[in-house]
Amino acid sequence: MPIVNAIRDFIGLGGPVLWVIFLACLLLWLLIIERVWFVRITWPPRARRLIAEWEHRQDRQSWRAKKIREATVSRASMELHALLPLIQMLVALCPLLGLLGTVLGMIGVFEVIAVSGNDDAQAMARGVYRATIPTMSGLVVALTGIFFTVRLRRLADRATSRLIGSLTLHQSGSKEFSR
């Protein structure tokens, strides 16, 4: 349990805003893991099923068939890009939560100055130290989230492009959807 104690001590240093950042980080990573699972595990069989349904169609050239293809691609793209806006919102929210923690920490520094004046430099330094921890935490969470958001968007765009390419094929045989 030393890790739990270290996390508790770290959050104690940064104030209550770090609990909110921690919860946002937890939600962010759960959403990222869900999207990775969907794109890597759930999507490939679904894409093969959509391609098989398209290949079993007799009519692939009419206006109606083209609209059905567009609707299929649109639904697939929505599935692949689902939750990405929420992940992006959490990534943008984390630095703002860090800034909130910094403001609250600086209020503590100003309280120390109001009570003891400028004489207690050590107490002011502790307050500034405490004020910077939420900012650092929010930025670290956001930076890791940005990397995975960009990666997930690329994976979703690539899978959508593969589906578009497969649905325009006239011969039988599906492409691989593992990556």
Residue 178, φ and ψ in degrees, nearest 5: -80, -20
What's the pLDDT tens digit per position in 145-163?
A: 999 999 999 999 999 999 9
What's the pLDDT tens digit per position in 25-57?
A: 999 999 999 999 999 999 999 999 999 999 898
Q: Under a CB-based contact definition with an 8 Å cutoff, are residues 140 and 101 in contact? A: no
Q: Under a CB-based contact definition with an 8 Å cutoff, are residues 96 and 138 in contact? A: yes
Residue 68 confidence (pLDDT):
92
What mean pLDDT do residues 71-75 have? Answer: 95
What's the pLDDT tens digit per position in 84-118?
A: 999 999 999 999 999 999 898 888 788 878 877 77
The DSSP secondary structure of 33-90, one letter per residue, reads HHHHHIIIIIHHHHHHHHHHHHHT-S--SSHHHHHHHHHHHHHHHHHHHTTHHHHHHH
Identify which of 22, 18, 153 has the alpha carbon closest to the alpha carbon of residue 85: 153
Residue 172 confidence (pLDDT):
44
Domain map (residue ranges) of the chain: 2-167
What is the Cβ-side half-sphere exposure of residue 14, based on CA atoms within 13 angstroms?
Answer: 25
| Count of beta carbons in the 10 Å neighbourhood of residue 77 | 17
